[in-house]
Amino acid sequence: MGEAAIAYAVDFLSRRQDAPATGFEGAVEAADARHAAPPEDGDGFAPLLDLVDEIARYASDNAGPGFLAYIPGGGLFASSLADLLSTTIDRYVSLWGEAPVAAQIENNVVRWLCDLFSFGPDSRGVLTSGGSMANFSAIVTARADRLPEDFLSGALYVSEHVHASVTKAAMLAGFPVRNVRSVPADAAMRMDVAAFERMVAEDRAVGLAPFAVVASAGTTNTGAIDPISAIADVAGREGLWLHVDGAYGGFFQLTERGRARFAGIERADSITLDPHKGMFLPYGTGALVVREGQKLRDAHHVGTSAYLQDLAADAHIPNFAEYSAELSRDFRGLRVWFPLMLHGVSAFREALDEKLDLAEHLSEELREDPNLEVPWPPDLTVVAFRLRGGDDAANRRLLEAINASQRVFLSSTVLHGRFTIRACILSHRTHRDRIDECIDIVRKAAAELAG
């Protein structure tokens, strides 16, 4: 079975360059046909590989070079192999005493992430299932630190383009949704810092308790980077916890351009990261790092159950269960450490630099087309554009024509009340040839619609 599964995976990856970008036609019917309960007796392994192939076929090809619609989980093969091995040996890492070497590997990953953002030796972190859980733990930690007794009047400040997981995190942490204060964005889709500061003062005057602000190191919607340093200045003056949502963009910190654009991020109290985005790893790989790690532990640790006292005692490194909402979970550290050790950090830096170059290239080429408008240059790797002079219906037709090519898959959003097309370049399999092909497809479709 193992050899057949690996052979299928290798063959699957070898076909990505020529595979269609989406496989939605017939997908509903295929899904309905698979509605079933498990059999009393097994069917054998071969039909299961057929099932996997069907799952892959009737979907958007997130693993392919033409997937530009959303921020992908890259499915780096080295990480997939690490998952196969880690789930085979099945070691438990939440308490150090159960698997000391495995826990050390995961701690290596956390320390590397903390160092990446110049967090000191007192910093701590955890690997999570993704940015949503990381943001949730960050909000819980901020609540425990800034509003330890009564938090229902607490006010959290976010950009109007913040990821929905932040609002959900606040709701799950017990805050009324109305207390998630949406700060207007400027023309470049970045948080308006002056408006943020005014809102804090106004909210204090009516009895709210401002306690935290979330800045985005690259919004999912447009890739815009909030002015982190200026937000940190206000947070410092007002005594607010500063959380940076770097789920999409955080790993551009590995690059010179990213570090310059994220100026001030080292002043954050906490940062969310998604290795399944910026490190091209499989879905289910997120992270949270906290500058003062004891605050993360204080917010999550409720004591050790008596039956676990032998495992929790005398830990040489932090027990991750004490810094997280999870006790039982998979060994996430190996899927991060494996490709880092195999390829080296420089390979990831070079890949991210390439994505920045590709986004700039796409933006510049589309801006030069008389039938298109690009509202602003990309901060990172999301490029937004529209049909020049076209209404929403015309831009919908443009998107449909682009996606009908089956060579690329783009998505849409609404910016300043207008339907806008977006391309997000963050797959390690997307290179200059596919972006040039995308440019040709967009230009041809725009010319036909412009008449």
| Model confidence at 226: pLDDT above 90 | yes
Mean pLDDT of 173-199: 97
Q: What separation in angstroms does the CA of 276 have from each of 206, 250, 336, 366?
A: 41, 11, 9, 29
| Of 186-195, 316-325, 430-439, minimum mean pLDDT range | 316-325
State the Cα angle at 387 between 383 and 392, rounded to 5°: 100
344-401 pLDDT per residue, tens: 999 999 999 999 999 999 999 999 999 999 999 999 999 999 999 999 999 999 999 9
- Strand extents, DSSP E, 238-380: 241-246, 270-273, 286-290, 372-373
Residue 445 identity (one-letter amino acid): A
CB count within 10 Å of CB 318 equals 19
- pLDDT of 112 reads 99
3-state helix, strand, coil in the chain (%, to 5): 50, 15, 35
Q: Which is more confident, 391 or 303?
A: 391
Residue spans per domain, the chain: 2-67, 85-343, 345-450
* Longest alpha-carbon distance in the chain: 75
Token pair, residue 275, equals: 């290795």
10-46 pLDDT per residue, tens: 999 999 999 999 999 998 998 988 898 998 988 889 9
- pLDDT of 408 reads 98
d(CA 119, CA 140): 20
Q: What DSSP line would sit under 194-228, residue for residue?
A: HHHHHHHHHHHHTT-EEEEEEEEBS-TTT--B--H
d(CA 260, CA 126): 26
| Model confidence at 282: pLDDT above 70 | yes
422 in Cβ contact with 413 (< 8 Å): yes
- pLDDT of 308 reads 75
Q: What percent of the chain has pLDDT over 70?
A: 99
Confidence tier at 97 by pLDDT (50, 70, 90) = confident
Which residues sit opposite 124 in a β-bridge?
290
To the nearest whole number, what is the mean pLDDT of the chain? 95
Confidence tier at 73 by pLDDT (50, 70, 90) = confident
- pLDDT of 75 reads 86
Exposure of 11 by Cβ count < 10 A (0-12 exposed, 13-18 middle, 19+ buried)? exposed
d(CA 233, CA 342): 40
- pLDDT of 313 reads 62
| Model confidence at 316: pLDDT above 80 | no
57-67 pLDDT per residue, tens: 999 999 999 99
Residue 154 identity (one-letter amino acid): G
State the Cα angle at 17 between 371 and 429, rounded to 5°: 80
Q: What DSSP line would sit under 359-370, residue for residue?
A: HHHHHHHHHTST
Q: Which fold has domain 85-343?
A: Aspartate Aminotransferase; domain 2 (3.40.640)
- pLDDT of 309 reads 75
Mean pLDDT of 201-230: 97
| Model confidence at 198: pLDDT above 90 | yes
Q: What separation in angstroms does the CA of 9 have from each of 4, 13, 321, 431?
A: 9, 6, 33, 21
- Domains 85-343 and 345-450 belong to one CATH topology: no
Confidence tier at 218 by pLDDT (50, 70, 90) = very high
- pLDDT of 342 reads 98
Phi, psi values for residue 442, rounded to 5° = -65, -45
Confidence tier at 314 by pLDDT (50, 70, 90) = low
421-441 pLDDT per residue, tens: 999 999 999 999 999 999 999
Q: What DSSP line would sit under 375-421, residue for residue?
A: SS--SSSEEEEEETT--HHHHHHHHHHHHHTSS-B-EEEEETTEEEE
| Model confidence at 311: pLDDT above 80 | no
Say which CATH class 345-450 falls into.
Answer: alpha beta
